[in-house]
Amino acid sequence: IPAPAWWTKAVVYQIYPRSFADSNGDGIGDLGGIRAHLDHLQQLGVDVVWLSPIYRSPQADNGYDISDYQDIDPLFGTLDEFDLLLAEMHERGIKLVMDLVVNHTSDEHAWFVEAKRGPDSPKRDWYVWRDGTARPALADGTPAPVEPNLWRSAFSGPAWTKPAGDDQYYLHLFAAKQPDLNWENPDVRDAVFDMMNWWLDRGVDGFRMDVINHIAKIQQDLRGDSTGFQMGPQIHDYLQEMNRRVFAGRDADLITVGEMPGVTVDDARLFTGVDRLELDMVFQFEHVGLDHGPASKFDNVELDLRDLKRSLSRWQTGLADQGWNSLYLGNHDQPRSLSRFGDDGQADDDRADDGQADDDRYRYESATLLATILHLHRGTPYVYQGDEIGMTNAGFQRIDQYQDIETLNWFAEQKASGRDEADLLEILRFRSRDNARTPVQWTPGAQAGFTEGTPWLEVNPNHDTINVETDRSRGDSSVFEYYRRLIALRHESPLVALGEFALLEPEHPTLYAFTRSDDDGRLLVAGNFSGSELEAPLLLEGPWGAGSLLIGNYAEAGAAAVLRPWEVRVVLA
Ligand code: TEU
Ligand code: CA
């Protein structure tokens, strides 16, 4: 058996640069802001930073629309400053992973500008062009869509756009300003692999690959009438070719993680099986789809904890003997994990007359419970910026406070279809991507210490109590301090990194319990997902009654078999 890879005991921290820290007062976070806060990352103890895109971009989707892969957007800094940042991170023992967005480019990328010149352009076939289709009118008489197929863009509207003066449509699974590259074309693959090699030669430590399963499309579907995008079987060939041409033979500790909406456990075994030479791990979406209906992410339904346990546990078991899990509860596309799965104290009925949340009762407890549950699973945990101090959803009350393209397009579309504006705003307060994109709260002072200017997205007013400075002064109830201990545990304990996972009490509605075991020992993790006391007799069963507390989120010892509100205990037998 080969030695486990280094990233089995690593923790990754995600930086969403425009919201992390602003160093020049223009209200947008930048490389200088990251450089100014490297102590924060080092003290937290993370091994790797994943940086959301900083390449040159018109910023239609905050950098996920790239117009030059080999330059830094002036909003964020320069290539020289990037090199400095990379060197400073390496000096502190922190690796840097870049976001690789190669399912699509910006429509302002030179490749697309060239392709758009017409069917004879040498770059035409670098993108996906198709003729329109005549279809019979719909039953109610409205004219049928004329696009090549009925795929919808993730950001509302058809996934096809016909440029003025063109006879054909180009495919964009996301915004019209994000045309999909044609991976069937070997020249596209050459260009992408060259670019990846260029970054690795510069010293970066790997890639988080944006919607990487979308690069392969089922070709017949491009003309059919299916409404949803389907992943094509060529995906494994593409990833293996990428591995051969980019990663093979490099003598460095690299890490790759593929973001894959819709990926199943069986797919993931193939993508991450060590012998298959594709990826180290994937981001799956099953557990973040449990609190919305099948129709859309904006169809909010209440989460049943049993579904979450069942889902994560299936992934644990499915990737136990082949492949590897990445572990996350939040990122820049998801609501804040504390507001979604815990008790953020910010619910409307917790608000005093001045509109300010005044019930912070279980914020520390539930933030640390969520962190413990996540970090004690088997896999590589990802910490999203701000989660380490228990940041919460944005709480925006008006549509003009939002900036996200997905949010704004969806709101406009739904409003046009006649839905009530207040209802839409309520859904967005829970679901919008901007919930996780408000500036990191560093201090209780003006603009939370994020900027000297006006931030691009409003700072959460709760920064007067929730911020790095205040959190770190709280001793036993510092969320940061608790994360630091959790991260250290993964470094120190092979049981935490690699132990076998087994779920307990699958049908319990509020108790999340599991064990981790290896030849040398066993751990019990037991968490109370509720604001009431919970009888947990399992804490006294078998070896656990005599076990020792490895980590827990209450400073004082409680009754042996009762978990207090949002309490979690990790017991070592
Ligand atoms: O996200 C892909 C994705 O599938 C979704 O999470 C998406 O953000 C959206 O919420 C669908 O409803 C990746 C990036 O993480 C995201 O920020 C980009 O907008 C997207 O790809 C396009 O590059
Ligand atoms: Ca700036």
- Cα(337)–Cα(52) distance, rounded to whole angstroms? 18
Average of pLDDT values for 546-559? 96
Q: Is the pLDDT of residue 533 over 80?
A: yes
Q: Could you tell me the distance, in angstroms and rounded to a whole number, from the CA of residue 523 to the centre of ligand 2? A: 45
Average pLDDT over residues 128-155: 91
pLDDT tier at 174 (50, 70, 90 boundaries)? very high
Residue among 15, 211, 212, 431 to mutate when testing ligand 1 (max atoms within 8 A of CB): 211
Residue 354 is predicted with a pLDDT of 52
Q: Which is more confidently placed, 329 or 139? A: 329
What does the pLDDT average to over 485-509? 98
What's the burial of 166, exposed, middle or buried (CB within 10 Å: 0-12/13-18/19+)?
middle
| Residue 298, CA distances (Å) to 155, 241, 317, 398 in order | 12, 37, 30, 17
253 to 94, 101, 200: CA distances (angstroms):
12, 22, 11
**Given 3.90.400.10, 3.40.50.720, 3.30.750.24, 3.40.1440.60, which CATH number is that of 105-180?**
3.90.400.10
- Taking a C-beta distance cutoff of 8 angstroms, is the pair 367, 390 a contact? yes
What architecture is the 499-572 domain classified under in CATH?
A: Sandwich (2.60)
Architecture label for domain 6-104+186-477:
Alpha-Beta Barrel (3.20)
Global model pTM greater than 0.90: yes
User: Which candidate in 22, 65, 210, 344 is catalytic?
Assistant: 210
Q: Is 370 left (phi over 0), alpha (psi -120 to 50) or beta?
A: alpha
pLDDT of residue 16: 99
Calculate how far, in angstroms, residue 333's C-alpha sits from the geometric centre of ligand 1: 6
Ligand located closest to 102 CA:
1
Hey, whose CA ends up nearest to atom 10 of ligand 1?
333
Task: Give the chain's mean pLDDT.
Answer: 95
Residue nearest to atom 6 of ligand 1 (CA): 333
Residue 1 pLDDT > 80, yes or no?
no
261 CB less than 6 Å from ligand 1? yes
Which residues are within 8 A (CB) of 350 and not within 5 positions of it... i.e. 6 or more apart? 357, 358, 359
* Nearest ligand (C-alpha, residue 31): 2
Q: Is the CB of 406 under 6 A from ligand 1?
A: yes
> Is the CB–ligand 1 distance for residue 211 below 6 Å?
yes
Output b/e per residue, 405-438; b: 16+ Cβ within 10 A.
bbbbbbbeebeeeeeeeeebbebbbebbbbbbbb
Express as a percent the part of the chain with pLDDT over 70: 98
* pLDDT greater than 80 at residue 13: yes
Q: What is the pLDDT of residues 21-66, one digit of tens each?
A: 999 999 999 999 999 999 999 999 999 999 999 999 999 999 999 9
Tokens for 236, please give them.
């494994």
Least confident of 17-31, 82-96, 337-351, 393-407: 337-351
Query: Which residues, in sequence order, are CB contacts of 35 under 8 Å at separation 6+?
Result: 23, 81, 84, 85, 88
Q: Is 259 a catalytic residue?
A: yes
Closest CA to 33 of 440, 465, 461: 440
The pLDDT assigned to 348 comes to 55
291 lines ligand 1 (CB under 6 A): no
Is the distance from the beta carbon of residue 102 to the nearest atom of ligand 1 less than 6 Å?
A: no
CB 510 within 8 A of CB 533: no
Q: What is the mean pLDDT of residues 211-223?
A: 90
CB neighbour class for 108 (10 Å; exposed up to 12, middle 13-18, buried from 19) = middle
* Bridge partners, residue 292, by sequence: 300
C-beta 404 within 6 A of ligand 1: no
3-state secondary structure 198-254: HHHHHCCCEEEECCHHHHCECHHHHCCCCCCCCECCCHHHHHHHHHHHHHCCCCCCC
Given a cut of 80, is residue 350 above it in pLDDT?
no
ipTM over 0.90: yes
Model confidence band, residue 353 (pLDDT cutoffs 50, 70, 90): low
Q: Ligand 2 (ion): which residues have CB within 5 A? A: 22, 24, 26, 28, 30
Under the banding of pLDDT at 50, 70 and 90, the label for residue 294 is confident
Question: Pairing state of beta strands 95-100 and 48-51?
Answer: parallel
* pLDDT, tens digit, 9 for 90 and up, residues 227-247: 778 889 999 999 999 999 999
Distance, CA of 99 to CA of 55 (rounded, Å): 9
Under DSSP, the state recorded for 4 is P
446 with 420: CB under 8 angstroms?
A: no
Quickly state the pLDDT bin for 349 (edges 50, 70, 90): low
405 CB near ligand 1 (under 6 Å): no
- Residues 520-531 have pLDDT tens digits of 999 999 999 999
Q: How confident is the model at residue 141 (pLDDT cuts 50, 70, 90)?
A: confident
Q: What is the pLDDT of residue 504?
A: 98
Atom number, ligand 1, closest to the C-alpha of residue 61? 19
211 and 103 Cβ atoms separated by less than 8 Å: yes
Residue nearest to atom 12 of ligand 1 (CA): 154
Residue 446 alpha carbon to ligand 2 centre in Å: 16
pLDDT classification of 358: cutoffs 50, 70, 90: low
The whole-angstrom distance between residue 171's C-alpha and the CA centroid of its chain comes to: 24
Query: Which of the ligands is closest to the CA of residue 76?
Result: 2
Is any ligand 1 atom within 6 A of the Cβ of residue 210? yes
Confidence of residue 224 (pLDDT cuts 50, 70, 90): confident
Ligand 1 touching residue 262 (CB < 6 A): no
C-alpha 451 to ligand 2 mean position (Å): 8
Nearest-5° Cα angle at 565, 562 to 570: 60
Residue type at position 518: D
Mutation test residue for ligand 1: of 100, 101, 210, 263, the one with most atoms within 8 Å of CB: 210
What residue owns the CA closest to ligand 1's atom 23?
64
Q: Is 214 in the pocket of ligand 1 (CB under 6 A)?
A: no
Domain locations in the chain? 6-104+186-477, 105-180, 499-572
From 30, 47, 180, 259, the catalytic residue: 259
pLDDT at residue 425 above 70? yes
Cα–Cα distance, 114 to 123 (Å, whole number): 6
Q: Taking 90 as the threshold, does the pLDDT of residue 542 lie above it? A: yes
